[in-house]
Structure 1
Amino acid sequence: MNRKHIFSRRQTLYFCTTLLGFGLLAGGCDDDHPPSGQSKDAYAEVKTEVSRLIESGMAEGKVPGLSIALVDDQEVVWARGFGFADEVARRPATAETLYEIGSTSKVFTATALMQQVERGRVALDRPIQELIPDFTIQSRFPESGPITPRNLLTHHAGIPEQYVGGFTPKVLSLTERMKLLREDHQTYPVEQIWAYSNTGIVVAGRALEMASGMEFTAAMKQNLLSPLGMNQSSFRVEAHMEPNVAVGHGSLAARDAPPHWLDGEGPAGSMRSSVLDMSRFIKMLLANGQAGETTLVQPGTLQEMWRQQNVGVPLDLDTRVGITWFLEDLPLTNGQSARMVHHGGATLFFRSMLALLPEHKLGVMVLTNSSAAQKLAPFIAQEALARALKVKTGLEVAPRTQEPQVQPVTRPVEELRALEGLYATDLGAMKVAVENGDLVGNLDGLRLLLAPHQQGLFKTELQGAPLWLLFERIDGHDVVLLPQGPLPLLSSGRQFLGERITPSELPESWKSRLGQYSVPRGAPREFFESARLSQGEGLLVLDVSSAMLGETVTLLLKPEGEDRAIVLGLGRGKGEVVRFEQQGEARFLITKGIRLQQNPPEKGIGSEE
């Protein structure tokens, strides 16, 4: 295989992760005094500067269309489209163009569920089964507490990701999604680690149905979207919306896209909206839950949603989350900081970013119709907010350094040897060893020289780009980290790359199952259509492939008993269970909710190449 292609696909999955998105908050600054003579006209310079950034970014990334709305308290000071909503028809993008907003949908689902908390119909810290009596999931952790709505809304419930229903005859209901979870397993005990899960928010959406007594889409419209006047927004495309929907662009041809996948993810990411509609939501948030004369959520509820929920969780590293919102402190040049809350989104063909500075009553929404805008959308959102903050308050956001400001150092060989071992990483199995006094990582046959630097950092190169690594022991786990997240806004601070693991002899039963698996004949297509199970150094290696995406995801597995294996590593997608079943002569692997049948054996399968 072409190694460069392998890494690019794995990094796509790791850095952006499979479709549907992220967000952040920060510690506030009270010094919000506008300079004398400041007026709204001052935003003209912001519009000019940000327009220039948008146009250059779109040209560089070949992004067809983008829309942006900038809100100052209760006024939309800028709402504009760039490029095309439909490039072929030459239909321009406008402030009313509708886009898929992906995981930004999650903050709407959470807000609607918090409304039910206010009405006494949902208890955030009670077992979810009290709301969804037929909800069950297998657990490997007898010490784990019950899953609660708060756990679901903060991605601390250990709910595995499922990629099901994309090609079923109709969109799967949330009730049907719950049934599909019954045979699946928790990935972690509750509150042990932040592991982002779209499926967890799907469960929260089912809780909203039960609490409101309404189907999810109808509940969202009645309780949140309609009161806000967001009449062009919905979790399903309605007939009156169709003329304004943007045409999405990505590596996948539209004709090959799973027709029902996004709507089946509903609460986690199926909302469509425009920046003009989204500005109504932003204004409500900046008004402490008030929309005109109507209180949609109480101020205390918003503060709880924007309060850090994962204090004292070592494995969360530097990730700070509220109730679905991501939290960050933007450093200012005066030594203080500005509190920011945000969430982004990604679908097959669209990218989005919503960000607010609550104390300064500023908010921005960026929507694009291209998967190529994964860096552009958060970058534009941050630049627009930073410039607006300076205009409104005189406060300047401090620039971030792109590279660690550290120098090379010499580390004793004994210290380097303490880092040796096999690491399960997002790029595959990496064997770390000392060779002639140097620390070296072997990654899928690629030799990486890990040069020690100050502050415990190691520098190497991958595909011609610098890669910084940090080895630490956290909460009993030996891990290798990225000291800084790969995307602006999305993941500031340390992020997991991998965990050191102990290989062991593979059971003969699992060795006999090595080979190629695919969707059973006659069954509907699936998001992932085939998988190859092989063995590495005391590990099972499962390469799960999606022909329609042209991607292969590599999972490193450790057998746990005769019929299941655990995905090694820490964080999103890790700790998941891959199950084995046999029915007569037919053998099956079940991964990510998808059932794959073993093909007739091929000569040499399972041998190390």
Structure 2
Amino acid sequence: MLRTLRGIPLLGCLLGSLGCHGQPPAPPPVPKGDYSAIIRYLQARIPRDMAQANVPGLSIALVNGQELIWARGFGMADKALGLPVTPNTAFRAGAISKLLTASAALQLVEQQRLALDAPIQQTLREFYVRSRFHTDQQAADRDITLRRLLSHQSGLPSEHLRDLRNSFAMGQMPMRVSGVWLSTPPGTQVAYSNLGYALVGAAIERSSGKDFETQLQHSLLKPLEMHHTSFVGTAAQVGYRAQGYQEGIASTDAQVRDLAAGGVWASPKDLSHYVQMLFAEGLYKGNRVMARRSIDEMFTQQNTGNALDFDCQIGLAWFLAPCGDEPIGPGIRTYQHSGGGDDFAAQLTVLPDQQLAVIIMANDSNAEDLVATLATDTLRLMLQAHTGEPVCSDDCQAPRHGLKLRQVPAAIDRQRLAGFYATAWGVFRIRDDANRLHGELAGYDFELLRDDHGWLRAQKRVLGFWLKDLGELGRIQLDVITVQGRQMLTARSHGQRIAIGERIQPPPLPMAWADTVGTYQVLNTHEPDAPLSGISVRLEDGFLVIRGQLHDEPLTDYILLPVDNAHAVLAGNGYGLGDTVSRQVNGLSASGYSFKRTHPPLSF
């Protein structure tokens, strides 16, 4: 909750005005089986793409079945030291860590030390939750299972921000977060949760009797000969790890508390061994690493029937559909996971039916769009080499130009759509103003028009002329539909429907919460790199709006909905939403932090 915009899943492409659809050089014709043509093309393209995006270093690996076709490093792992990227250079892989964590948990399920559908409280006995969705609080505890944690359906908050950069032992997390309020009803929708994976890491330690790193090395990493992969240490401590950069400037290697969710260092070459094991149904070089049934379980959709997930399918850790990203090709099954933040970017994508995979990692905050586009284009070429036929004609990519037909929504349509929408990126305001429909999201102002298919599209005018490109925001098609009695703002991107936000009506405002308007500073924190320094609460059009503050940087606005005199929630559903904010004697508390009022109510 209350995060900066950077690092929220899908945000880079949704709001990026340029990067997602930059024009790479035309790929060559690729005869069947000729991967050398792909390698030559990538050797020419990658340095140019890196220079355009100001990315210091990048590493890539291509896999075909049990063969590592190619692994190569480009650019600099450390500019100051003059260290080049090699195939063995390890990058922080971020959320790709979850794939390894889920695999290690399933190994313990095979050994009957963990159970997929038993309450996680059987292993982490000190952990309990509080729920506004259950009348029986013990039932809420029973609903938190390993399966739901691994598939982001536990209902837990996305993050526990307090001590996010601390290095205390993983086994302390269950006690530290016990009593956390659920953000969504368990088992009803996918709500991405790093906190959930931190608990999985603790369960791995508790059930194996080993610390997390030791267990992962013993059960997974060493059997897969992943010699440059580890969840501990920093780049300064290990010479073959890349330095991270933020827009070209070297950054401090951030301490990661939730190692199981995002702490792994790895090279694409090392991760290719993991992919080969998956393709071989659990075998690596003839040795059994995982049971076939565990891999089948990872790749089985877990959220069937969740109406609010729309076309986004998830397995255990793996996303089994692009979830709004550009697909590889029509009818091509694609499983993937990306990792971003902490000045690195990574993506691992596999085509299970063809047993093709690409793994790409880079060491700059600017690299997320480059990595995503390069992964998609490379897999299309690999698929062409696999089949001998081009993957795409005109049906892989959405139109990249302005609307063919721009139509101002009718008055009744504008009235129906106008309102406040809670999204993971903050408040999406849609206003009926001067007979036009205007939108504002995360600082982007635009007009909403109906396209020739009846969808809403964002457009921008300057000096009376239509701009042709608002980035991905101008290309996706928006509309509001009712699902389970909730008005959902949805987007159609590359033929898939995904949830963007939920329309929120102004609620009755109890006096206790009206009195919380003001500014607050965080209390009792000595974190060197705390994600929050304060919050503010204000009234806007009948809503309480809460905003985080990080030193002098204002963060995102969220709608705060009172539940009772003591508790309110961040409105909406999805990443960072549904989290509980509580009133205290001298202020507010949220995500493990206590906040003390510093100023009386302000006018905004």
| Band the TM-score falls in, shorter-chain normalisation | 0.7 to 0.9
Alignment of 1:38-117 (within 5 A): 39=33, 42-117=34-109
CA offset digits 1:210-269 (Å, max 9, x no partner): 221211111111110011111221110289971101000116976666x53x1x111101
Give distance in 2, aligned partners of 1:454 and 1:37.
39
Matched pairs, number: 561
2:406 & 2:578 partners in 1: Cα distance?
A: 35
The DSSP-based 3-state class of the residue aligned with 1:455 is: coil
Q: For 2:274 and 2:144, locate their aligned partners in 1 and report how far apart those are by CA, in whole Å.
A: 29
* Residue 507 of structure 1 pairs with residue 510 of structure 2: yes
Change (3 A) 1:427 1:111: closer
Alignment partner of 1:365 is 2:359: yes
Which of 526, 532, 535 is residue 536 of structure 2 equivalent to?
Answer: 532
Which stretch shifts more, 213-222 or 449-458? 449-458
**One-letter amino acid of the structure 2 residue matched with residue 180 of structure 1:** R
Instruction: Return the letter of the residue paired with 1:79.
Output: A
Amino acid at match of 1:76: L
Specify the SS of the correspondent of 1:297: coil
1:328–1:394 CA distance, 2 compared to 1 (3 A): farther
Query: C-alpha displacement at 1:432, in angstroms?
Result: 3.6
Are 2:385 and 1:376 equivalent residues in the alignment?
A: no
Distance 1:606 1:180, change over 3 A: farther
1:307–1:322 contact (8 Å) kept in structure 2: yes
CA contact (8 A) 1:332 1:395 kept: no
- Distance change (3 Å), C-alpha of 1:57 and 1:475: farther
Residue aligning to 2:19 = none
The 5 A counterparts of 1:274-353 are 274-328=267-321, 337-353=331-347
1:385-440 deviations in Å (ceiling 9; x for gaps): 21112112224332322449864457553344332333234454445454565434
Matched AA of 1:506: L
Residue 224, structure 1, aligned to residue 220, structure 2: yes
| 1:272-308 alpha-carbon deviations (Å, 9 max, x no partner) | 0112211211211121110112111122221221121
Contact 1:234 1:273 in 2 (8 A): yes
1:481 and 2:490 are equivalent in the alignment:
yes
Q: 2:145 aligns with which of 140, 145, 148?
A: 148
**Contact map agreement 2:422 2:501 (CA 8 A) in 1:** yes
Q: Which residue of 1 aligns with 2:163?
A: 165
Q: Is the 8 A contact 1:11 1:426 kept in 2?
A: no
Matches within 5 A, 1:164-243: 164-168=162-166, 171-237=167-233, 242-243=238-239
Partner of residue 122, structure 1: 114
What's the CA shift for 1:201?
0.8
2: CA distance, partners of 1:300 / 1:407 = 51
Distance in 2 (alpha carbons) for counterparts of 1:252 and 1:124: 43
Answer yes or no: is the 8 Å Cα contact 1:135–1:178 preserved in 2.
Answer: yes
TM-score in terms of structure 1 length: 0.85
Deviation of 1:206 after TM superposition, in Å, equals: 1.4
Are the structure 2 counterparts of residues 290 and 551 from structure 1 closer, same or farther at C-alpha, using a change threshold of 3 Å? farther
Which amino acid in 1 is paired with 2:377? E
* Structure 1 residue 317 displacement after superposition: 1.6
Report the counterpart of residue 136 of structure 1 in structure 2: 128
Distance 1:380 1:213, change over 3 A: same
Distance 2:249 2:182 in 1: 34
Report the CA distance shift for 1:61/1:104 in structure 2 as closer, same or farther (over 3 A). same
Provide the residue aligned with 1:470 in structure 2. 479
- 1:97 is displaced (CA, Å) by 0.6
Would you say the 8 A contact 2:547–2:554 is kept in 1?
Answer: no
Q: CA deviation at 1:556?
A: 1.4
Q: Is the 8 A contact 1:16 1:374 kept in 2?
A: no
Question: Using a 3 Å threshold, how does the CA distance of structure 1 residues 231 and 240 change in structure 2: closer, same or farther?
Answer: farther
Distance 2:581 2:536 in 1: 13
Aligned equivalents of 2:165, 2:328: Cα separation in 1: 48
- Are the aligned partners of 2:77 and 2:84 in contact in 1 as well (CA < 8 Å)? yes
When the two structures are superposed, what TM-score results if normalisation uses the length of structure 2?
Answer: 0.86
Alignment partner, residue 572 of structure 2:
569
**Distance in 2 separating the partners of 1:386 and 1:37:** 13
Q: Which amino acid letter does the alignment assign opposite residue 579 of structure 1? A: S
Corresponding residue number in structure 2 for 1:266:
259
SS at match of 1:56: helix
Where 2:386 maps in the other structure, the secondary structure is helix
Instruction: Identify the match of residue 413 of structure 1 among 411, 414, 419.
Output: 411
Find the aligned partners of 1:445 and 1:92 in 2 and give their Cα distance.
38
Name which of structure 1's ranges 49-58 and 114-123 shifts more when overlaid on structure 2.
49-58
Q: Report the Cα offset of residue 360 of structure 1.
A: 1.4
Shift of 1:502: 1.4
What is the aligned counterpart of 1:386 among 380, 387, 390?
Answer: 380
> CA offset at residue 130 of structure 1?
1.5
Retained in 2: the 8 A contact 1:342–1:356? yes
User: How far did 1:540 drift?
Assistant: 1.7
Once the two structures are aligned, what percentage of the paired residues are identical?
Answer: 29
Superposed displacement of residue 98, structure 1: 1.0
- Contact kept, 8 Å, 2:87 with 2:268, in 1: the verdict is yes
Is the 2:30–2:38 contact (alpha carbons within 8 Å) kept by the matching residues of 1?
no
Aligned to 1:594: 593
DSSP-derived class of the 2:564 partner: coil
Deviations, residues 479-537 of structure 1 (Å, cap 9, x unaligned): 2223228xxxxxx8333332111113422222332222223267444221121122222
Contact 2:517 / 2:602 at 8 angstroms: preserved in 1?
yes
Distance 2:92 2:160 in 1: 20
Inter-partner Cα distance in structure 2 for 1:575 and 1:80: 43
* Alignment CA distance shift 1:511-1:392 (3 Å): same
C-alpha separation in 1, matches of 2:350 and 2:259? 24
| Secondary structure, aligned partner of 2:453 | helix
C-alpha RMSD of the superposition:
3.0
Taking the aligned partners of 2:165 and 2:113, their CA distance within structure 1 comes to: 35
Equivalent pair of 1:456/1:471 in contact (CA under 8 Å): no
Asked if the contact 2:486–2:502 (Cα under 8 Å) also holds between the matched residues in 1, the reply is: yes
Distance of aligned partners of 1:252 and 1:150 in 2 relative to their CA distance in 1, 3 Å threshold: farther
Q: Deviations over 1:75-108 (max 9, x none)?
A: 2111100110001111111101111000001000
Amino acid at match of 2:596: Q
Shift, 1:157, TM fit: 0.6
